[in-house]
């Protein structure tokens, strides 16, 4: 499990709070937030039950802390787009979503979107950021023509939809999408 917080480095055993979050991350990703008892978090974290509530007074605080500390939507100004090559720019975006989070945290992010506002918000910001980057990449790649703004926006939104759809439902339904091919398709549509 990936933490965004610096851990006490080397071979040291992570501290109790970290172990609790590690356990919750695994369990929430597996069975879901509602179906995971705090007692099981404690057991897996190898901490006494009471300690979970010492760090996280209510169960929901564990989820909030996970989202807060272990997912990061990268909203940096500089986006690595390839000027003049829309397809390549989108492919890059696909290969490296502006989301720093472990696979488990990604599952939680999508799965528990209904559970708490903070999760939903994070997901919304991720979507927004992907759209923003896709838009930027396309703007940078394409010769500026008038009247293209709307179409470019649609392309960006579409690409974001494909990426998030893949992250979320494709894993469940077993379908597969090749983002590179989609990138090329979209680039072609705008070209």
Burial (0-12, 13-18, 19+ Cβ within 10 Å), 84: exposed
Token pair of 100 as six digits: 């720093």
Structure tokens at 21: 């979050």
What would the x/- binding string for DNA be over residues 17 to 56, using CB under 7 A? Answer: x-----------------xxxxxx------xxxxxxxxx-
154 sits near a copy of itself (criterion: CB under 8 A):
yes
Give the distance from CA 171 to its chain's centroid: 14
Instruction: By CB under 8 A, tell whether 137 contacts a copy of itself.
Output: no
What does 186 interact with, of DNA, a copy of itself, none (CB < 5 to 8 A by kind)?
a copy of itself
Looking at beta carbons only, is 123 or 142 nearer to a copy of itself? 123
Among 2, 7, 35, 48, binds a copy of itself (CB under 8 A): 35
| Burial bucket for residue 90 (CB in 10 Å: 0-12, 13-18, 19+) | buried
Q: Retrieve residue 87's tokens.
A: 């397809």
Q: Which residue has the tokens 């356990």?
A: 23
Using the rule CB under 8 A, is 173 a contact of a copy of itself? yes
Q: Which residues bind a copy of itself (CB under 8 A)?
A: 32, 34-35, 110-111, 113-115, 120, 123-124, 127-128, 131, 150-151, 154-155, 157-158, 161-162, 164-166, 168-169, 172-175, 177-178, 181-182, 184-186, 188-189
């Amino acid at each position: 499990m990936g933490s965004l917080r610096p851990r006490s480095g080397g071979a040291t055993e992570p501290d109790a709070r970290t172990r609790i979050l590690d356990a919750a991350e695994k369990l929430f990703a597996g069975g879901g937030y509602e179906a995971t008892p705090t007692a099981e978090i404690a057991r897996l974290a190898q901490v006494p039950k009471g300690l979970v509530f010492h760090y996280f007074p209510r169960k929901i605080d564990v989820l909030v802390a996970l989202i807060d500390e272990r997912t990061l939507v990268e909203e940096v100004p500089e986006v690595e787009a390839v000027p003049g090559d829309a397809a390549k720019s989108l492919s890059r975006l696909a290969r490296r979503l502006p989301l720093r989070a472990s696979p488990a945290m990604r599952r939680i992010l999508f799965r528990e979107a209904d559970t708490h506002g903070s999760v939903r918000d994070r997901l919304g910001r991720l979507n927004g950021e992907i759209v923003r980057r896709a838009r930027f990449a396309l703007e940078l790649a394409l010769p500026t023509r008038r009247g293209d703004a709307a179409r470019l926006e649609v392309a960006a939104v579409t690409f974001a939809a494909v990426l998030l759809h893949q992250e979320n439902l494709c894993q469940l339904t077993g379908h597969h999408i090749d983002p590179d091919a989609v990138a090329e398709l979209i680039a072609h549509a705008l070209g």
